[in-house]
Amino acid sequence: MGSVRPGTTAGNHQGLDLKVLTRRRFLRALASAGAVLPLAAALAACGGEDEPASTTSPTSAATASPGTTQEAAATPTTAGTTATAEATGTSGVFPVTVEHKFGTTEIPEEPERVVTIGFSEQDPVLALGVKPVAVREWFGNQPYAVWPWAQDELGDATPQVLVMPYGELDFETIAALRPDVIIATHSGVTEDEYTRLSQIAPTVAQSGDYPDFGMPWQEQTRVIGRALGREAVAEERIAQVEAAIAEAASAHAEFAGATIAWASPSGDGQFWAVGPNTPPMRFLISLGFVVPDDLAKVVGDLDSAQISKEQINLLDTDVLIMQTDTPEQRSAIEADPLYQQLRVSREGRTIFFERSDDPIYGALSFSTVLSLPYLVERLVPLLAAAVDGDPSTEATS
């Protein structure tokens, strides 16, 4: 009579343990898949998330201690060649020591084979005149994971593209590349991953002073410059970009003090709002914009946070950047009666990104030393059209 056996739960087909990373959040996949996750996971998933701009690690990662000081075992370069002194002034610089979240790393001699395993470090590496042998794909399916603003620096190099879901580093492939140095400043590696990587090659991880994906682009460029023995070049590029940004800021006094938000719809009617502690928002802030207090409070130190559609008025800023995946999503938002009540809708203050391979959107997500000049060129006019509050000036990408 009546055999008692567990029935299939709704959790079965939701058991998508997908750690696929796009510009989206790995934890959102977990949240939607975890029908049987404990409450803590559900609340954590809704408390703060990765952002449309960059990937983030789980909120718990932010609490990782800087770790004990450790000397990364330096893997001897196979070819044993040392670069001769060039105009980049690399002679006599090595060995160098760089500091990061997990301690220090010593790089014994100028690296020839550079592998970037984070999501945007190909840009600073290319900016310093070094061509990596492998880069990691973040999103956008660009050739060699290099976007248009960095194609010049790439030249005819053909780095291998590593497609690794967030949290699943392919150590075998990385080791097979025989790297001399591994750059991971925008990768969110954990201490375990760092330890394994440093057994392959000296690894430069993210700074411990910021959230995992919150290291400012200047500091990333600097530390990568140091690791590659090109600090002078790094400082030069940083100064150039900072000057360009400052020039744009002063040319647009209307940006100063204007509130800005960057959001994307999350599929169930809610929105992800990006927090101020991220490279893209820092760039916008350096142009003079501010993130409104109530929004900043909601997101805090996290990369992004989810807000209910009922609270869409949190996004009613002077300029709103709304990033959707498809034109249909954009139309759906524009037709929404609640959105239409906002000032951003009535006064045409929204900049819509409609596709995930839009280069301006990509440049903003990356916010690196190479993409920022591209942004200054392409995004600033859109920002100006949006902030003037005149619906007739179209701010479309």
For other proteins, the binding residues (CB under 8 A) are 1-16, 18, 20, 22, 24, 28-29, 31-39, 42-43, 46-47, 266-270, 298, 305-311, 313-314, 325-326, 328-329, 332, 336-338, 341
CA 319 to mean position of chain CA atoms = 21
- Residue nearer to other proteins on the CB measure, 43 or 251: 43
- The residues facing 203 across adjacent strands are 182
135 within 8 A of 116, measured Cβ to Cβ = yes
Which pair of structure tokens corresponds to residue 142?
Answer: 């660009």
- Residue nearer to other proteins on the CB measure, 33 or 164: 33
- Residue nearer to other proteins on the CB measure, 71 or 328: 328
Residue 337: CB minimum distance to other proteins, A:
5
Closest CA to 365 of 203, 186, 244, 198: 186
Residue 187: CB minimum distance to other proteins, A:
20
CB atoms within 10 A of CB 364: 29
Residue 287: C-alpha distances to residues 25, 50, 260, 279, 335 (Å): 26, 24, 11, 13, 31
Pairing of strands 271-274, 304-307: antiparallel
- Residue nearer to other proteins on the CB measure, 105 or 278: 278
- The residues facing 352 across adjacent strands are 322, 396
- Residue nearer to other proteins on the CB measure, 11 or 148: 11
Q: Give the separation between CA 177 and CA 39, rounded to whole angstroms.
A: 42
- Residue nearer to other proteins on the CB measure, 99 or 347: 347
Q: Give the separation between CA 225 and CA 171, rounded to whole angstroms.
A: 24
Which pair of structure tokens corresponds to residue 269?
Answer: 């009617």
Residue 42: CB minimum distance to other proteins, A:
5
Query: Helix, strand, or coil here: 71?
Result: strand
Q: Give the separation between CA 143 and CA 149, rounded to whole angstroms.
A: 12
- Residue nearer to other proteins on the CB measure, 77 or 277: 277
In total, the chain counts a number of residues equal to 397
Residue 252: CB minimum distance to other proteins, A:
31
Residue 353: CB minimum distance to other proteins, A:
14
CB atoms within 10 A of CB 185: 30
Q: What is 151-211 written as a DSSP string?
A: HHHHTT--PEEE---TT---HHHHHHT--SEEEETTS---HHHHHHHHHHS-EEE--TTS-
Q: Give the separation between CA 227 and CA 372, rounded to whole angstroms.
A: 22
- Residue nearer to other proteins on the CB measure, 10 or 253: 10
- Residue nearer to other proteins on the CB measure, 322 or 369: 322
- Residue nearer to other proteins on the CB measure, 32 or 240: 32
Residue 95: CB minimum distance to other proteins, A:
41
Q: Give the separation between CA 228 and CA 149, rounded to whole angstroms.
A: 21
Residue 313: CB minimum distance to other proteins, A:
7
Residue 9: CB minimum distance to other proteins, A:
6
Residue 22: CB minimum distance to other proteins, A:
6
186 within 8 A of 221, measured Cβ to Cβ = no
Residue type at position 357: D
Pairing of strands 181-184, 203-205: parallel
Residue 276: CB minimum distance to other proteins, A:
16
Which pair of structure tokens corresponds to residue 141?
Answer: 């399916």
- Residue nearer to other proteins on the CB measure, 67 or 300: 300
Residue 251: CB minimum distance to other proteins, A:
35
